[in-house]
Amino acid sequence: MQDDHDPARADEREHPPPAALELVRALRRLRQLPWNSRSPIENCTPGETMTLFCIRRATEGNPAGVKASELSSMLNVASPTITQSVNLLVAKGLLQRNADPSDRRAVRITLTEEGDRLTGQAQEAMQERMKALVAHLGSDRAHLLIELLNEVGAFFRGADDDTESRGGPWCRPGWNPPTTPEEGE
């Protein structure tokens, strides 16, 4: 273990390598982009939009819907936060609550037709932007960017591997929605 008072380490802290400084600048520029300035779904906050996309993904394999507790786990947020978000999205006509057919005490949440339509439009728009980015970068550079972003994510998660998220782009990594109502219990 090196001493924190080592002159070489002190010099490195005072004068980081140029690549480290360039990386900090590039990450700051990315952070300053207007990622959330315009939600892909009109009149929805980024958090509400993420909630809609998670429900869309989860109900692909389970059309009965998701429970609030499952949604809370998917988004890694507290149940009261999910309840508030779901209430707002129900009021906007984008979500609906339905009694669970196998357990009348449970409530399942699904997208309404309008919610499905809007998330579909937003997903198509995002896919078009990504296609444009791939066209701009070229296939080889796009794949290199994917590889590098996976490595950056693994580094900051503290992981030793670069396994990709299985949760999808809008849900907590590692969470897989149940494929049958029984699995959601």
CA-closest candidate to residue 181, choices 30, 67, 56: 67
CA-closest candidate to residue 87, choices 133, 50, 48, 38: 48
- pLDDT, tens digit (0-9, with 9 covering 90-100), for 26-57: 988 888 877 655 567 888 888 888 899 999 99
Percentage of the chain with pLDDT > 70? 76
- Structure tokens of 31? 């952070």
What integer best gives the mean pLDDT of the chain? 81
Residues facing 95 on adjacent strands = 111
- pLDDT, tens digit (0-9, with 9 covering 90-100), for 112-123: 999 999 999 988
- Structure tokens of 103? 């357990």
CATH T-level topology, domain 39-124: Arc Repressor Mutant, subunit A (1.10.10)
What number is the average pLDDT over the span 78-96? Answer: 94
Query: What residue spans define the domains of the chain?
Result: 39-124, 138-168
* pLDDT range class, residue 166, cuts 50, 70, 90: very low
The pTM of this model reads: 0.68
